[in-house]
């Protein structure tokens, strides 16, 4: 996944930076809310149940999206796409951690640590002397 942002127009909502579509943002927010409601951890069965309810269009939630504030709505999102476009990228980026032994998903702060590492990588690049750059001529 590639995260692109404009430093001069940085949104307040992290999900707007990470996800490309409003539907993905909404589903990701609802997922985090669902995990928080389960004390920050959701087992594999609960995650599958969440994905199935979403797939069947039976997931009812309140949205904070413009035009839907405070209204209860039914969400629908394909189960396979949920795993491919929402859950797996959130795991890869360190937003959600999966414990192989307990078979649970939990909200993680690894995402923050990875962004700090990226910032440090940039600082090393900025400080690298020009003499280290070699351009092949040919």
User: Would you list the DSSP string of 86-117?
Assistant: IIHHHHHHTSEEEETTTTEEEE-SHHHHHHHH
Going by C-alpha positions, the residue among 70, 43, 39, 73 that lies closest to residue 59 is 73
Segment holding 74, helix H or strand E: strand 72-75
Determine phi and psi for 94, rounding to 5 degrees: 90, 15
pLDDT of residue 86: 97
Q: What is the pTM of this model?
A: 0.86
Per-residue pLDDT of the chain (138 residues; tens, 9 = 90+): 677 788 999 999 999 999 999 999 999 999 999 999 999 999 999 999 999 999 999 999 988 877 778 888 999 999 999 999 999 999 999 999 999 999 999 999 999 999 999 999 999 999 988 776 677 776
């Amino acid at each position: 996944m590639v995260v692109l942002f404009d430093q001069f127009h940085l949104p307040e909502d992290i999900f707007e930076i990470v996800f490309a579509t409003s539907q993905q943002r909404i589903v990701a927010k609802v997922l985090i809310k669902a995990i928080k409601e389960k004390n920050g951890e959701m087992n594999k069965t609960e995650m599958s149940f969440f994905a199935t309810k979403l797939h069947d269009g039976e997931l009812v939630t309140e949205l904070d999206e413009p035009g839907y504030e405070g209204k209860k709505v039914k969400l629908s999102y394909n189960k396979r796409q949920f795993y491919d476009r929402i859950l797996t990228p959130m795991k890869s980026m360190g937003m959600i951690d999966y414990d192989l032994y307990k078979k649970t998903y939990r909200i993680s702060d690894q995402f923050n640590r990875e962004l700090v590492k990226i910032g440090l990588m940039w600082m090393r690049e900025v400080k690298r002397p020009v003499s280290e750059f070699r351009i092949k001529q040919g």
